[in-house]
Amino acid sequence: AQSVTQLDSQVPVFEEAPVELRCNYSSSVSVYLFWYVQYPNQGLQLLLKYLSGSTLVKGINGFEAEFNKSQTSFHLRKPSVHISDTAEYFCAVSSSHSGGGADGLPFGKGTHLIIQP
């Protein structure tokens, strides 16, 4: 089974500063990796995903993530955050060998990104 670990439950950052949210995964097979964002009182929005190919993945709202197989990581980065980036961020993983959707999507515990003016 696959799982992800988000070590930071909360990350405070000043506005216009860079940020990195960490995600490590555990799997014995090849994986797909995802980052979702959840704004207050809303559903989850897909920020970006890694399926194959280039290890640097660009997503919406200026976010990007890098797949590092040797370190089993998929950290999310943004070079300059804005107050509107305040939200909960979830990392998730699935197996590339599973039946599509058969197992749902295991999420990390989430990282609350707090942007300080």
Shorter beta-carbon distance to other proteins: residue 25 or 36: 36
Q: How far is the CB of 96 from other proteins (least distance, A)?
A: 4
Least CB distance to other proteins at residue 56 (A): 18
Q: Are 34 and 49 in contact (CB under 8 A)?
A: yes
Contact residue for other proteins among 19, 25, 108, 115 (CB under 8 A): 108
Binder of other proteins out of 90, 114, 115, 116 (CB under 8 A):
90
What is the b/e burial string over 40-58, where b = at least 16 CB atoms within 10 angstroms of the residue's CB? eeeebeebbbbeeeeeebe
Residue 96 structure tokens: 């590339």
